[in-house]
Amino acid sequence: MQVALTFDTPGVIAVVMTGCHVLKSTPRVPLRLNFTAASELRACQQLLPRLTRNVMSKRNLASPSTPSRKKSKGSSDQHSLHRYFDASAKRESTASPSKSKAKQKAHTIPTAAGVQLQNDHIDITADDALYAWKLAEKDGLDLDTLRKLENANSRGAQVPRPATVEVIDVDLEDEITPAAATSTTEIAGPSTPTLRPATRSIPGSPSVSPQAAQTYSALHVHPAHYDLESGTWPTGSPAPYSFLAHTLATVSGTRSRITILNTLTNALRTITMHHPPSLLPALYLLSNSLSPPYSPIELGLGPSIVSKAIQNISGLTSAALKRLYTSTGDAGDVAFEAKSNVRTLIPHPPLLIIGVYGSLLKIAHAKGQGATKQKQSIVEQLLVAAKGEEIRFLVRTLSQNLRVGAVRTSILTALARAMVLTPPPGLSVPIPSDSPFCVSPEIMLRAKATTTNAKKKHGDRPEDTLNEFFDKAEGLVKKVYVQHPNYDHIATALLEAGLDGLAVRLPLTVGIPLLPTLGSPTRSLDEIYSRLELLPFSAEFKYDGQRAQIHASRDDNSQVYVKLFSRHLEDMTDKYPDVVALVTDMCKSRAGSFIIDAEIVAIDPNSGSLKSFQDLANRARKDVKLDDVKISVCVYAFDIMYLDEQILLERPFRERRALLRSRFPPVIPEQKGAARFDHVQSCESEEGREAIEEFWQTAVNSSCEGLMIKLLDNGEVLEDSEKGKSRRKPLPATYEPDKRTSAWLKLKKDYVTGLGDSLDLVPIGAWHGNGRKAQWWSPVLLAVWESETGKLVGVCKCMSGFSDVFYKNMKERYPENSETCSRQPLWSPAVETGGLRPEVYFKPQEVWEIRGADITMSPVSVAALGLVSQTRGLSLRFPRFIKIREDKGLEQASTPEFLANMYRIQQATGKDRTGADDGDLVDVDLEDAERMDSEASTG
């Protein structure tokens, strides 16, 4: 049990027994207390006054009376907890006094509540477990691996039982059945958990050092100097989560790539060495994911629940937490600070990497009524169990924002290096004698010697030898991952067969998406010609739709199997039954299998003309039946990566495209509204620059985003080296998964000066930034100027395009609580913000040039309300700051009419979507827009 002492309201000391899991905000929910000995309770109660004094003298977090603020509506700062603390502050302040009295009373009679344990306990029944397995199976997870994990989990978790208090341990839940839950009321025998801090308290004694935790050896050292044996945990035991927290803390403490990679490498080596089954969950936790991207497992939990959980386990008021949040800009830091006020009487058994991962899975699998409560409950149990640094990273993980300076690439690099240095114990396939990844002891010794000496001799750099091994391994692991992005399969393969067995085991596979090639942004045709010089290229329409990777294969029974993946590899097969039907038909006329890259675009079912991205976004996503499809689409194919057992990634684009064109002719099904198949419209550089420029104009006028320029053949381009010399550098025209290569250049109309929608807007408010922008205003709320009334009306938020220097200056021009920046609007007659409610208001005094790609009909903005729609305002897609318009005053800022007109022009252009030049600019008047509105809502 843990006891938190907090100052809930001035003059009142609330006592929260967090270890017993008091659900502070929901008094109706029974307290989860389960005292096994009355003396234990008495001991605790006797301690309370003393602990109260300790905390009071140490730190005063008493909050002033909570001002009741309006709950923000519709403003969704994705990674921000501000609004939720705000929202809770309101709820708290409006809560009836009797309620809070009842709350405190309840805390003092835990025995009564203890009886109700069963009501609030999350039952993990055998059926649930079975269901989870079925889900996992359906999701394509590797069941064996998961099962192994679960077993390892149970085995490890049994060791660190609390001595005298029954705690529902998140690590144990997997094995808790209703029967088990009731039987554990017996007092377990004393045990010596493997990771019990040295300062472990005798049960009931006044330990007030909850942060005492295992100390691990430094991880940031060069791997050659890292000692795998000391300062860890016993070999064979599951890796503790505190080790991962230590790793993350080390990584987040530096910006040096070298240090980050050293740290991750050493951490993964340690885990591999001491407990291989912990490797996979460690990889998932490091990468802040739960499953392969194409599996539908999601946490389904965000800042809202996390903030409530932090409140509950810390007992701090939302106002106090909000202050913490404003100063740190990180939910994890808030939780860390908040929990530093929680006094732990009896240490909780250590969290394990496997256990934490398991809890996350459990959160993800909570579905249906009561799911939110279940999720929150699991979160709170995790937070209660977390010690020291653990809570910081636990909360960041739960907020889906780990932010330690290492994501996928670093993790893969580190994994590769770890496998070079520390091949997994117990490989079922021995390392071949000629393994290219086997580092000899001599090389290790030399690497060690070289990295010790600061001075390196030129010409004789033996550490390069080790680096060569690293390079080879990194290349392999990254290549395998981008073609087969599944940590589960990778970890399993590595643990069984090492680096040597990886590539064979995990080939490019139909049914498993590969990471797509990406385009580099360019600002003009000039830039494109200077980057590609005279190399032949193809210019393709860049349609405003959704990227789709289409997988199809046919088995021996002529059963066709089709999968569609999004740009981020989500499985969206269910969203496009019409495309599945189309592809199935295409398959029937041919044998074999293929993977095609394409853009799905909404079209008019009659004319086939292109429709907007927003039209496409209106499609349903889940369990869509063929008959339910209301928005017709065309699949515009532009690449092929796999055809009839042939991997085409290494072939030049010209060749791939020829295959695509010859083997997959366009399809327009008889049935109206059925999905169509076509090739992207394109133009060759051989046709000359004038033709390309004309093609570009056509693309822009056809409501495409612009052009994709693709190198046709492998070539070489000039590269500026540092010394002013130029070298020839190869530029391959191969399919490069996950690369933003120069061989694919995107030219969007909104990149080109003068073509994008540029507005002159007034900054009228802002929010506190997060993370590295915690000390600045970000994002900023921007407004149009309503000239007749003098009102300012919010259009959109903006956070992109500001340099750090600009942020600093902005903060100086708008210091918090000043004449230019206040919690209250600083303008008369009024600022209207609609659903965009900033944390602070600026004094309107500047005009900024803001660029965007499109004007959108907005559900939250009230700018230009009534001009094109009675119910919706206008906003801006992809807004970014260009510069301050020093030459403009407020009166010269863009008006709602200007914005509305821009929207009308855009819509008119949209009616000419085939590229045919009928130039019939239709003025979208009010009635027109309203009709479209109602059609959209009823249709």
Partner DNA sequence: GTTGCCTGCCC
Partner DNA sequence: ATTCTGC
Partner DNA sequence: GCAGAATGGGCAGGCAAC
Report the site for DNA in 803-832 (rule: CB under 7 A). 803-805
Q: Shortest Cβ distance from residue 934 to DNA (Å)?
A: 14
How far is the CA of 522 from the CAs of 528, 567, 735, 743, in angstroms?
7, 20, 20, 12
Query: Under the criterion CB under 7 A, does residue 327 sit at the interface with DNA?
Result: no
Nearer to DNA, 153 or 401 (CB): 401
Q: Which residue from 797, 837, 904, 913 is in contact with DNA, where contact means CB under 7 A?
A: 797
Tell me which amino acid residue 204 is. G
Spacing of C-alpha 830 from chain mean position = 37
What's the closest the beta carbon of residue 546 comes to DNA, in angstroms? 4
322, 478, 542, 575: the catalytic one is 542
- Contact with DNA (CB under 7 A) among 139, 570, 604, 897: 570
Q: Does 773 bind DNA (CB under 7 A)?
A: yes
> Would strands 546-554 and 740-748 be described as parallel, antiparallel, or unpaired?
unpaired
- In three-state secondary structure terms, 741 is strand
> Which residue number, 276 or 756, has a Cβ lying nearer to DNA?
756
Would you count residue 401 as binding DNA (CB under 7 A)?
A: yes
How far is CA 918 from its chain centroid?
A: 44
Smallest separation (angstroms) from DNA to the CB of 485: 13
Contact string 274-313 vs DNA (x = CB under 7 A): ----------------------x-xxxxxxxxx-------
In the chain, the amino acid numbered 332 is G
Distances (CA, A) of 464 to 66, 421, 479: 61, 15, 22
Q: How far is the CB of 255 from DNA (least distance, A)?
A: 4
Residue number, 344 or 703, with CB nearest to DNA: 703
Q: Which of 8, 77, 142, 390 binds DNA (CB under 7 A)?
A: 77
**Which residue in the set 83, 274, 551, 904 belongs to the binding site for DNA (CB under 7 A)?**
83
Q: Which residue's CB is nearer to DNA, number 7 or number 777?
A: 777
Contacts of 328 (CB under 8 A, 6+ apart): 334, 337, 774
Distance in angstroms (rounded) separating the CA atoms of residues 548 and 539: 19
Q: What part of residues 491-520 is at the interface with DNA (CB under 7 A)?
A: 518-519
We find the least distance from the C-beta atom of residue 634 to DNA, in angstroms, to be 15
| DSSP code, position 203 | T
* Number of other CB atoms surrounding residue 106 within 10 Å: 17
Report the DSSP pairing between strands 831-832 and 791-798: parallel
Among 132, 168, 249, 404, binds DNA (CB under 7 A): 404
Site for DNA in 241-260 (CB under 7 A): 255-258
d(CA 401, CA 567): 20
Q: What is the dihedral of CA 543, 546, 547, 549, to 10 degrees?
A: -130
Q: Which stretch binds DNA (CB under 7 A): 75-83, 346-354, 485-493, 889-897?
A: 75-83
Which of positions 368-387 make contact with DNA (CB under 7 A)?
368-373
Residue 885 to residue 893: CA distance in whole angstroms = 9
Contact criterion met (CB below 8 Å) for 766 and 814: yes
Nearer residue to DNA within complex by CB, 344 or 410: 410
Helix, strand or coil for residue 634? strand
Quickly list DSSP for 750-762.
TTSTTTSEEEEEE
Nearer to DNA, 34 or 410 (CB): 410
Give backbone dihedrals phi and psi of 180, rounded to 5 degrees, phi first.
-65, -40
The closest of 394, 322, 271 to 63, measured between CA atoms, is 322
> Does an H or E element contain 64, and which?
none
What is the smallest separation between the CB atom of 259 and DNA, expressed in angstroms?
A: 8
What is the distance between the alpha carbons of residues 175 and 183, in angstroms, rounded to a whole number? 13
Q: How far is the CB of 26 from DNA (least distance, A)?
A: 8
The distance of closest approach from Cβ of residue 369 to DNA in the complex, given in angstroms and rounded to an integer, is 4
Q: How far apart are CA 336 and CA 869, in angstroms?
A: 47
Query: Does residue 695 touch DNA according to CB under 7 A?
Result: no
Nearest to residue 286, comparing CAs of 251, 259, 318? 251
Tokens 């009166």 belong to residue: 891
Amino acid identity, position 5: L
Binding to DNA (CB under 7 A) within 877-916 occurs at: 877-880
Q: Does 397 bind DNA (CB under 7 A)?
A: no
Our finding on whether 566 is near DNA (CB under 7 A) is yes
Q: Give the one residue of 93, 154, 400, 609 binding DNA; rule: CB under 7 A.
A: 400
Give CA angle at 839 (779, 895), nearest 5°: 65
If the CB atoms of residues 568 and 823 are measured against DNA, the closer one turns out to be 568
Question: Closer to DNA at the Cβ: 42 or 257?
Answer: 257
Residue nearer to DNA on the CB measure, 559 or 871:
871
Residues 897, 910: Cα–Cα separation, whole Å: 20
Kindly state the DSSP code that residue 454 receives in the 8-state scheme: S
Residues 599-658 that bind DNA (CB under 7 A): 613-614, 617-622, 624
Of the listed pieces 237-245, 690-698, 801-809, 896-904, which binds DNA according to CB under 7 A? 801-809
**Interaction with DNA in 435-494: which residues (CB under 7 A)?**
none
Quick one: which segment of 131-139, 201-209, 439-447, 874-882 binds DNA (CB under 7 A)? 874-882
CB of 298 to DNA, least distance (A): 4
Residues 853-872 that bind DNA (CB under 7 A): 853, 856-861
746 catalytic residue (yes or no)? no
Burial class of residue 895, CB neighbours in 10 A (0-12, 13-18, 19+): buried
Q: How many residues bind DNA (CB under 7 A)?
A: 108
| Residues within window 166-225 making contact with DNA, judged by CB under 7 A | none
d(CA 352, CA 153): 8
Category of 856 on φ-ψ map: left (φ > 0), alpha (ψ -120 to 50) or beta: beta
From the CB of 864, what's the least distance to DNA, in Å? Answer: 11
* Cβ proximity to DNA, 93 vs 177, nearer residue: 93
Tokens coding 66: 């909570």
Residue type present at position 883? K
Q: In this structure, are residues 788 and 867 in contact, taking their beta carbons and an 8 Å threshold? A: no
Q: Which is nearer to DNA, 152 or 795 (CB)?
A: 795
Stretch that binds DNA, among 428-436, 453-461, 601-609, 763-771 (CB under 7 A): 763-771
**CB-nearer residue toward DNA: 7 or 785:** 785
| Beta carbons within 10 angstroms of residue 572's beta carbon | 20
**What residues between 329 and 348 interact with DNA by CB under 7 A?**
329
Measured from the CB atom, the residue of 424 and 516 that comes closer to DNA is: 516
For 269, 314, 550, 641, 649, the CA distances from 596, given in Å and listed in that order, are 38, 51, 5, 6, 11
Residue with tokens 């807004």: 879
Rule CB under 7 A: is residue 801 a binding residue for DNA? Answer: yes
Could you tell me if 277 and 355 are in contact, meaning their C-beta atoms sit under 8 angstroms apart? no
Q: How far is the CB of 42 from DNA (least distance, A)?
A: 35
717-746 positions binding DNA, by CB under 7 A: 719, 739-742
CB of 686 to DNA, least distance (A): 25
Residue selected from 283, 836, 867, 929 as contacting DNA according to rule CB under 7 A: 836
Region binding DNA by CB under 7 A among candidate stretches 182-190, 582-590, 674-682, 802-810: 802-810
Q: How far is CA 137 from each of CA 143, 295, 507, rounded to the nearest angstrom? A: 7, 10, 21
Candidate residues 521, 665, 688, 790; the one interacting with DNA per rule CB under 7 A: 521
Helix %, strand %, coil % of the chain (to 5): 40, 15, 45
First-to-last C-alpha distance (Å) of the chain = 56
Q: How far is the CB of 159 from DNA (least distance, A)?
A: 32
Please give the positions annotated as active site.
542
